[in-house]
Structure 1
């Protein structure tokens, strides 16, 4: 079994893959095109499956120490009526861990600091990836050439490596929604850890962090590429009259803190996550809509499964076949479920459809809701050591 790998992409999935590979004894170089890893982003909810992956990578305790458990909250109407309550204690009892809220930048920083600085090749873009002989893949990064026995493509939804491997694949498509999000500048007095509010073709939600600040997001049904001269003012206009604490969250936010991205996804599933000695991971393999909060968790699952497969199998080829067989069905099923959740949730705009959805949610027993969540959160990682 070889022991050199290049990971293309220094996001959450790429860093997690590098940590996993190093834990099983591989030498790793992470190629990241950003000139500075400044740990940006809004917030993230880590479900039990993502937390378990982080523990297997050796960073779970550090992540949990700076996260906040999401125990109270649920889904509401714009008027404030509850459609469903979240019982975080029951969920933790069922899966063994709570959902945790953490700033994305903090998670990224903890992963990055788990790697030696010399592992990271910052400000360098992978221009070419090609198999040059038996067992060797060459990555061209401008004037820098890296030869390795494995390449892990974790270069995101717009993956250049994926387009090289699957030139006929249609690539990412617009998921019919655009999302604006931010972290409040200061702590906000909130009664719940987590909330979603569904209106007609719109959603507003928040998660609370350990320091009392909160991440909020607003999802709107709009044409791709829609942007606002003053995003915060536009959100105040659109969500005027929605229940507390939505106005307070917007008022506690600086205008330049608002991030705005269209929701894109790989709607056409890839036929394989591996080609030769190249493996796709995270959004490069299965970019999904955020409606189940599983994007980062699935990337973390990928990282642990890939590393465990390489540790267990006699050849890289056998390990990659195992990785594909284990990860592709599960991650693509989660992606389908996330898409369906969006269509039945925030994207509904007809008043009758919204009313029927709301009635169904109010009548759903809490135990049934927990069982639905278990399908995604109940994943148990393979052991790396």
Structure 2
């Protein structure tokens, strides 16, 4: 069976690795760019994704790219601690959470695909159409010179992102991604270790927020590289360009006063290696991901806000679930139906929670109930409420420790 994957991002490359591990080898990955450059900033791979990468036999390679955060702490704008919880193996998972540079991750996945499957990544192929037949499909690609190429397949997996051409074919009136009104400025910086050097931190509320987490251990000079996100309502524009570099000074000024004895946010922004601006956008849930022998995956199926740090992890689960059902179902049609049943309702629920700011809503609750601060957070938000918010998101996203540790494996091979 020939399987064509549109998109060589995180989701597309992990799909190729998942299919190979499941026993499929006739795979082509169509990538619109003429060179995979490994762009972007940080990404978190949560334990449910790292479990899948472990079973693919690639987790050690990816872990070497970044660090394993041990805790996550939420703070008010004034720097008062709201809630902290262990993460990864510190929280009782059998698998860690990993924080890595997205570009380095993409390049490593590319190398792994080439090692296991050879030269299956065809560059300079932009998907523009899918012609669906009874039991097959044809991917129509535009080449750099403007000509078109047809690639026949038994199955086309559209992992072509938030601007998915495949999705647009079936939802032509959907329009641009839905803007939340918030703008994100993302970057990396070299700083003295924050707290213990293994903590992910979030400060602020629904109107303005700062997030940071380590991407490396201590370097030779004692500093470490961190990823950060500065978020504010307004500013920017709803136009999505993941690689638009902007001046650091105005953004640092917008966070003037966000300083404490352990964190100087304006200085981090001013000293960043690069600052990229983009709007916080998502897409509405759709009623189907499957159209004959075309199936959507990752952001093409369920682009969502980054609240909860879960986008790459959900694409990983998509890839592994699809490969599992293709290997075990009686037919391709049965496999696609099982994949959609397993993934679409869960992602629809998760999209709803991210629009409510996911587990980060504890910061907004603290802001609403105690705008001037507090002496004891549990007078403002009872511990039981904090724990319930954290647990609700983990359950919806598929990484509650007990749930994940007990779940059966998604590893399977066709014909086994």
Distance 1:342 1:262, change over 3 A: farther
Aligned pair partner of 1:14 in 12, 15, 33: 12
Task: Specify the alignment match of 2:202 in structure 1.
Answer: 196
C-alpha distance in structure 2 between counterparts of 1:72 and 1:51, whole Å = 16
1:136-215 → structure 2 map (5 Å cutoff): 136-142=136-142, 143-169=148-174, 172-184=177-189, 186-192=190-196, 193-199=199-205, 201-211=207-217, 212-215=224-227
Q: Which secondary structure state, in structure 1, belongs to the residue aligned with residue 160 of structure 2? A: coil
User: Is contact 2:72–2:201 with CA below 8 Å preserved after alignment?
Assistant: yes
Aligned counterparts of 2:387 and 2:228: Cα–Cα separation in 1: 27
State the aligned residue count: 377
Equivalent residues of 1:59, 1:110 under 8 A apart: no
- Of 192-201 and 122-131, the range deviating more from structure 2: 192-201
Deviation at 1:189, TM superposition (A): 2.7
1:383 matched to 2:381? The reply is: no
Q: Higher mean Cα deviation, 117-126 or 269-278?
A: 117-126
Structure 2 SS opposite 1:35: coil
Distance 1:297 1:183, change over 3 A: same
- The structure showing larger relative contact order (alpha-carbon pairs under 8 Å, at least 6 residues apart) is 1
Deviation at 1:156, TM superposition (A): 0.6
Deviation at 1:24, TM superposition (A): 2.2
Q: Structure 1 residue 42 and structure 2 residue 41: aligned?
A: yes
Q: CA 1:354–1:237 in 2, change beyond 3 Å: closer, same or farther?
A: farther
Tell me what 1:237 maps to: 253
In 1: Cα distance, 2:40 partner to 2:359 partner: 25
Tell whether the 8 Å contact from 1:5 to 1:148 is kept in structure 2 after alignment.
Answer: yes
Q: 1:7 to 1:357 in 2, by over 3 A?
A: farther
SS of 2:127's equivalent in the other structure is coil
**For the Cα contact (< 8 Å) 1:7–1:28, is it kept in 2?**
yes
User: Could you tell me the TM-score, scaled by structure 2's length?
Assistant: 0.83
- Residue aligned with 1:86, SS: strand
Q: Write the deviation string for residues 237-282 of structure 1: whole angstroms up to 9, x where unpaired.
A: 111111314234224313xx11111111112x11111110111000
TM-score by length of 1: 0.89
Partner of 2:91: 92
Of the structure 1 ranges 360-369 and 19-28, higher mean CA displacement relative to structure 2 is found in 360-369
For the residue of structure 2 that corresponds to 1:305, the secondary structure is: helix
Determine the C-alpha separation between the residues in 1 that align with 2:88 and 2:39: 31
What is the aligned partner in structure 1 of residue 29 from structure 2? 30
RMSD: 2.8
Query: Kindly tell me: are residues 89 and 6 of structure 1, through their superposed partners in 2, closer, same or farther at Cα, counting changes over 3 Å?
Result: closer
Q: Structure 1 residues 91, 364: CA separation in 2 closer, same or farther (over 3 Å shift)?
A: farther
1:98-156 Cα offsets, whole Å, 9 max, x none, are 3221111121122111112511111211121111x332210111332100000000111
**Distance in 1, Cα, partners of 2:85 & 2:54:** 25
Structure 2: gaps (5+ residues): 143-147, 218-223
1:73 CA drift (Å): 4.3
Inter-partner Cα distance in structure 1 for 2:5 and 2:201:
36
1:217 aligns with 2:194: no
Aligned residue for 1:205, secondary structure, equals strand
How far off is 1:71 after superposition?
A: 1.2
Task: Sort the Cα spacing of 1:383 and 1:198 in 2 relative to 1 into closer, same or farther, 3 A.
Answer: same
Alpha-carbon distance in structure 2 between the residues aligned to 1:265 and 1:22: 30
Q: Is the 8 A contact 2:76 2:82 kept in 1?
A: yes
Structure 1 stretch 322-331 or stretch 197-206: which is displaced more? 197-206
What residue in structure 1 maps to residue 79 of structure 2? 80
Asked if 1 retains the 8 angstrom alpha-carbon contact of 2:213 and 2:228, the reply is: yes
